[in-house]
Structures are given as C-alpha cells and as structure tokens.
A and B are shown apart, each in its own frame.
Chain A
Amino acid sequence: MQAEVEQALARLFHAPMQVARMQLLPGGASKEAWLVDAAGADGQKELLLRRAGGGVIYVDTLSLAAEHQVLQAAFAAGVKVPRTYGYIADLAGREAFVMQRVAGESIGRRIVQRPELAAARGRLPLQMAEQLAKIHATPRARLPALPYHGDPGLTAIERMIGRLEEGLDASDEPHPALELGVAWLRRQAPAVAACADTVLVHGDFRIGNLMVDAQGLVAVLDWEFAHLGDPVEDLAWPLVRAWRFGVDHLRLGGIGEVEPYLDHYNRLTGRNITAAQLFYWEVAGNIRWAIGSLTQARRHLSGQERSVELAVLGRLACEMEYEVLSLIEREAYARPA
C-alpha cells in the first residue's frame, strides 16, 4: 500500500512525498489508523492516516468523508483538533483521510493516575469546558449532513429515551436494572428543562478521547459519533463512572470537580445548564454505556469481531447497572409506584 499512500500524499501536498515509516496501529476493526512518517520538499511530516476497515461498520458512526468535514469545521471554529490534510476517496479501494499526528497521552487510566500529569489534571476541567463551548458553537452551515440520532421532530430527551429503549430491546436479554433507569428518565423528563439549542455534539467527549500532555488538553479526538443534539449530552458524558478510570470520587472524568467545569461552560456560552440537568444526562450516559457494553459483547458473540476484550465487556455491564441504581436512589423518584 506504500506506493498508493505516496501517490495520495503527493496529490494532497502538491509535491513528491516519500514514506519513511508506515505502521498500522492496533485497535478498531471498523476503521484503520496508520502512523505515517513522510518526507517531502519541506521536511518530514508526522501524519495519521485514517482508512475505512474491511466491511465491519458500527451503526451510527460517520463515514470518513463526513468525519473529515466535521474535523475541518471544528478546526475552523477554533476547537483543538488535529489539522487535516485532505480526504482521499480511494486509497487502495477504500476511503481515507490524512491528519496531523499529535503527541501526548490519550490512555484514560494514565491520564487520571500518572504523577507527571498532575498539573495537567488541574487545568483539564476548565479546558474541557472551553473546548465544549467551542464545539457547540461550530457554525451548522460548515457541517456535513449529520444524524440527529432519532426523529428531529422529537425533543432531545425523547430521542435519547427512544434510543435507550431500542438498545435494550436489541440486546435481547432482560435488564430490569437498566429498565428502572429508563423508567426514571421517563418520569423525570417533564421536570428537566431541555436546552433549546440544537448544536454539533461530539458524541464521545470524555477522558480517553482527549490527547493530554503536561500542559493539559492538546486535542479532542475520535469524532466518529458526532451528531446534532442537545449540548448537555456532551457535557454530562465525561461524568459517567466508567470514564473516571478508577478515580471515582472525582466526578468529572476522574480528574476534577463538576462545578467549576459547568460554571465555566455556562459563562462562556451564556447558557444556564443546571446541575440537575447534568445529573439527569449522567444517569442516561451510564445506561447508554451499559447498553454499549452489551452491544460490544454481541459483536464478539455474532462473530462480527471475535475479541476477548469485547466478550468480557458484556459481563461488566452490571457495573453500570449498579451505578444507575445508586444514582437514581438518591432521588425521591427512585421507586416505581
């Protein structure tokens, strides 16, 4: 494939390019990520090449063409994202795009635990709020056609509840704990103000998808779940307990407190998102990730992607079940009549 990559890079950079190193990174079967070092007239470029995988496709993920456009729009809106160098419709038979390779740490467990990242953790809450404020201000006109994750005629909360119910039905196993969680969401919905704005939602904004160095946040990664929706969804997702990577007492991703993060976001955006709204979407986020784990295990069971990681993940959904039950217990509405 090296010759095809060199040809494509030459077109994108308008100059001959020579690949010095090329390595397929371990990870997703649905999309490939290649580390590419290429030398051209103006020196060496450290690149990351994203390329479609061999036919295994997640539902609700963007095509690489759309993801590339979203990255461009976010970059133009001042979001910290890797710079993109162009889309390739056909790279050895599959679509791809090229972007800058950013240095730093993106493994969640290391970000929340490594001593040398302590100062970065101190900065992250406000930096995360700032990035979300910018993501949510990305002009819609610059974006490709993005999914709503449901009927645009419904409210964001109705769409979210509908998706969770569909997810539970598709797992084809009964999960009373998650059903109680969804019942709680249904009952509470009228009391929860929906944010009036429909914005670009990153869809997977959390520790583990953020590149971090000693100074703090370097880049927001993994845009394939981007869609249009309620900004509170993004704001609450990094609170989900699984994304605290063992540092559970720090509700914001195992790295900080929620209040300064929420206050900073509200100050920057002029929105008035409340702790109660955030809590509501935190419950929803935990249910979503429980269903996500069950779905991942089914990718293994169906033979779509055999993997011991995916298999074991199915058994860990009960961690999220327990968290959901504990969260709703704190509210007066926990017990169904």
Chain B
Amino acid sequence: MQDRPNASELAQAVLEFLQNEIAPQIQDARLKFRMLVASNGLGILARELAQGEALLQKEWLRLSALLQTSQAKPSGLAELRAEVLKLNRTLTARIRADRAPPDTYEAVKDLARDKLRIASPRYLERYRP
C-alpha cells in the first residue's frame, strides 16, 4: 500500500500548486486559458479517484435493475468497469431499437447527474432549465 497522500489528494495538491502559484505568473491570455483547462482536467481526476468506484458500483446496480439482468456483481474493478460498459451498450441498443425498458429516462438522467458530479459539478449546481 502506498503512503498518503492518496491518489486523489495528490492530484488535488498538484492542482492547487498550478492554480495558486503558476497561473498568476502567466501573462499570455491563450496560455492562461489552457492552464485553466488543464487545472479543470486535474480536478476531474481528483474527483474521479475519490468517488469514481462508488459511482461505478451504483451505476451497475441501477442498470442491472433497469435491464433486469441477474448476474452476480463482478468483484474486481476492471471487471466491474467492463460489465457497466456492456450494460450501457445493451441499453443504448434497446433505445435505438425503440425497446427501452420503462423508467429508462429516470435512470439515465440520474446517471447523467453522477457523470457531472465528477466531470463538472459546478455546471450541475448552477443548472436552471
């Protein structure tokens, strides 16, 4: 086992260094913008390292229930990831064929919210229809 800081904390530390110490030094507007984008990328990484696995578990449960599959939950993270990908492919094909299960909309919206929690939490907070 690695010592702390853990992966998420380490990504966060690099992010804070870039934001607080490097960004203010940049004069060029274009480079400043790219710096902001890069920090944003590190923020996504930090959040995914912290919450990604739990959200993946939740997604597996939600999609398995929606598609009424009766497989046992995969034990390893790689297997879980592969299984969630497969469930998403099945759901996508069913929507395309106009055979989406009932409650698809609610499940997909809920999962879209979870994607935003990692990728763009501020968008989710600020969102007004």
Write the chain B residue with the least CB distance to A26. B30
A174 and B59 CA atoms in complex are apart in Å by 14
Given contact pairs A176-B95, A312-B41, A318 touches B119 in the complex (Cβ within 8 A): yes
Interface of A is mostly: helix
Convert B107-129 into 0s and 1s, putting 1 for each residue whose CB lies closer than 8 angstroms to a CB of A. Answer: 01101110110111001101111
Is A316 within 8 A of B88, CB to CB?
Answer: no
Binds A, one of B6-14, B50-58, B69-77, B96-104: B96-104
Contact with B along A144-164 (1 / 0, CB 8 A): 000000000000000000000
CA distance A175 to B34 in the complex (A): 27
Assembled-state Cα–Cα distance A213/B94 (Å): 49
Chain B contacts of A308 at CB under 8 A? 34, 37-38, 41
CA distance A183 to B109 in the complex (A): 15
Task: Mark out the residues of chain A between 280 and 332 whose CB falls within 8 Å of any chain B CB in the assembled complex.
Answer: 308-309, 311-312, 315-316, 318-319, 321-322, 325-326, 329-330
Q: Are B108 and A176 in contact (CB under 8 A)?
A: yes
> Contact: B116 with A180, CB < 8 Å?
no
A126 within 8 A of B: no
* CB-contact partner of A177 in B44, B112, B123, under 8 A: B112
- Contacting residues, chain B, for A26 (C-beta < 8 A): 30
Judged by a CB distance under 8 angstroms, whether A248 is at the interface is yes
Say yes or no: is A190 at the interface (Cβ < 8 Å to chain B): no
Q: Which of A176, A315, A325, A326 contacts B88 (CB 8 A)?
A: A176
B41 x A325 contact (CB < 8 A): no
19 contacts between A and B (CB under 8 A): A174-B89, A176-B88, A179-B92, A182-B96, A183-B98, A309-B37, A312-B44, A315-B119, A318-B119, A321-B112, A322-B112, A322-B113, A325-B109, A326-B129, A329-B109, A334-B105, A335-B102, A335-B104, A336-B98
Interface residues, chain A, CB within 8 Å of chain B?
Answer: 26, 165, 174-177, 179-180, 182-183, 248-249, 308-309, 311-312, 315-316, 318-319, 321-322, 325-326, 329-330, 334-336
